[in-house]
Chains A and B, each alone.
Chain A
Amino acid sequence: DAGVTQSPTHLIKTRGQQVTLRCSPKSGHDTVSWYQQALGQGPQFIFQYYEEEERQRGNFPDRFSGHQFPNYSSELNVNALLLGDSALYLCASSSTGQGAGGYTFGSGTRLTVV
């Protein structure tokens, strides 16, 4: 049973460009949350998707947007990249029926903005 799959694993972009990161949730999970983890810090909540809609959002600018597809997979899009967007982006999936204890994290996408 595959866990949470994220792609790509590493990415290098130039300032001002746009990037799309992808996440496939664990089998049976219907909710996807995205987190940004800067070097030396804990993960910070970006947003959560459920039933193809953004259900909750953290303190991130509108340059960060997302999407959830009917198969529950999700994308994170970041426009007009800044150097400060360099971080590990983590996807976590969960199931409505499991409550808060069922989060499973992927291994992340390491984004470097130059």
Chain B
Amino acid sequence: AQSVTQPDIHITVSEGASLELRCNYSYGATPYLFWYVQSPGQGLQLLLKYFSGDTLVQGIKGFEAEFKRSQSSFNLRKPSVHWSDAAEYFCAVVDLPNTNAGKSTFGDGTTLTVKP
């Protein structure tokens, strides 16, 4: 069965500092991986996704993520954090990636706090 682990429950960074959020996955085949952001009381907004090709993917809001098959990781990064980035971040893996019939398995999220 597929699974996702986000080792850091809560991360605090200063505004303008760099950010890296960790994600480790378990999946039997080539994974289809996502990062979402969720503001309080809101739904999930897709930041970026990876299925194949270049292992460094660019997303919205200046985020990027790197897929490392050898480490089963898909870490999210941002070079300079803004106060508006404070939110909860979820990593997810989807089965049946060639269709839209798959289900997403999410990690438990990392809460990002940004200090002024």
Interface residues of A (CB under 8 A from B): 4, 31, 33, 35, 40-45, 48, 50, 55-56, 58, 90, 92, 94-96, 98-103, 105-108, 110
Could you tell me the dominant secondary structure of chain B's interface residues? loop
Given contacts A42-B106, A42-B109, contact A108 B43 (CB under 8 A): yes
Given contacts A99-B97, A99-B100, A100-B94, contact A107 B109 (CB under 8 A): no
Inter-chain CB contacts under 8 Å: number: 73
Given contacts A42-B90, A105-B44, A108-B43, contact A100 B108 (CB under 8 A): no
Could you tell me the dominant secondary structure of chain A's interface residues? mixed
7 closest pairs, A vs B, by CB?
Answer: A42-B106, A45-B103, A105-B43, A94-B100, A105-B44, A107-B43, A100-B94
21 contacts between A and B (CB under 8 A): A31-B101, A33-B104, A41-B109, A42-B92, A43-B44, A48-B101, A55-B101, A56-B101, A58-B103, A90-B43, A92-B104, A95-B100, A96-B99, A99-B98, A99-B100, A100-B96, A100-B100, A101-B51, A103-B100, A103-B104, A105-B45
Complex Cα distance, B39 from A83, in Å, reads 25
Flag if B98 contacts A100 (CB, 8 Å).
yes
Given contacts A100-B32, A100-B51, A101-B51, contact A43 B97 (CB under 8 A): no
